[in-house]
Each structure stands twice: as structure tokens, then as C-alpha cells.
Amino acid sequence: MFPHKTWWSAAAALILGFAPSVPALALEPFTHVVIDPGHGGKDPGSHAYGLVEKNLTLDLAHRLQRILTSKGITTTLTRTTDEFISLENRAKMADSSAKTIFISLHFNAHTDRSISGTETLYWPGSAKGRELASYIQSELGRRLVTRNRGFKPGRLKVLEETKCTAALVECGFISNRWESQRCGAEWFRQILAEEIAQGILRYREG
């Protein structure tokens, strides 16, 4: 994501800390996942150390799609190539079918290059979004040795526009030199995809 959006993240992390796992809610089973590779086309997203966010998110989205498909879950990508899709249209794709959840994938950046870690965001007040985010974030900390920045509410446009259960995953800070090397590695993105998928499957199980 762009650096300007992360100014509140550090403050929110200090205020909220690492929130405990939320109790399971009565969930309607979902059968479809809309995977949103953040940015694209004329909107490159963050860029640092030779990496461009829109390229990383698209690769990660394809990896996540393959895993979920192998588990019998149908999926749709909001974009399959390097093209610009408005946030409103991404949300419309998520809301076009019933029993769907929405996962938006991003890589973070900050002017303070020492900041690193993963975090998962949900729309404030969305109980199901909070639970989905909690499951995904808890999985991201199992195999990846990086700072766990927790799951937290975020007033982001794509989450606001999406009516179904949604979460936005920030998969690391490419503005951090050490973390950018990992984000640029295929093995790292494959683990990210596997862990995000596991979080989604845990949410489905309730």
C-alpha cells in the first residue's frame, strides 16, 4: 500500500496491541472466495528496492487461487493481468454472488524503513470481518519469522465498499530492506499463500 496510509497503523498497534483470538461466531458457510490483487495498471502501489507492489500481489493471488481451488473452493480474481480496476468495481465483483468472502492482498511501505511485519485489516464494526482477519493473521505468524502487527480495524475504501465478509492482508513492508528481499522471493510468497489459505479454511470451519 502507499506510505501515507500506514501512519495510523503504528498508532493503532500501540493502542490495540495484539488482540486475542475472538470467539467463534455463528457463520453461514461460504463457497466462493474473491481474491483481490491490490493495485494494477496505472496504480503501481508501493515500490522499493526494485519491487513493485502490483506485481507481487498478482503473483500471490495466483498462488492463493491454486491452493483454494485444490481444496474445492471456487475463486475469482479481481484482475488476472496488470490492469487497473477501480475499488468500486472490485467490491462489486465481491458482492455479485452469495456465500462469498473477499480477500484483498497488499504489501506495505513506510517512510521509516525500520518498520516491518504483517497485519490483517477488517472494516470497523464487522464481527465476521474481524474473525476472518484474526484467523488469517494467526496463521501468518506460524511459519514466517517476522513481526506480528496483529489484526485491527481499518477504514479503507475497498473494505467500506464491500458488503460481504472481507479482510485486507498486508504481507510485509517492501520499504524494509530485509523484508523486501523476502517479499521478492518466490518461496516467501508461496508460504504467504499457504498461510492465508489456512486462515481462510479455519474461518470456514468456524
Q: Catalytic positions, please?
A: 170
Compute the distance between CA of residue 62 and CA of residue 98 in angstroms, rounded to an integer.
Answer: 22
Q: How many CB atoms lie within 10 A of CB 177?
A: 13
Question: Residues 83-87: contacts with CB within 8 Å, 24+ apart?
Answer: 83/40, 83/41, 84/40, 84/41, 84/42, 84/43, 85/40, 85/41, 87/157, 87/158, 87/161
Compute the distance between CA of residue 72 and CA of residue 36 in angstroms, rounded to an integer.
Answer: 19
Compute the distance between CA of residue 75 and CA of residue 102 in angstroms, rounded to an integer.
Answer: 10
Compute the distance between CA of residue 164 and CA of residue 95 in angstroms, rounded to an integer.
Answer: 6
Could you tell me which residues are beta bridge partners of residue 167? Answer: 103
Which cell is 56 given?
Answer: 507481487
Contact (CB, 8 A) for 56 and 180:
no
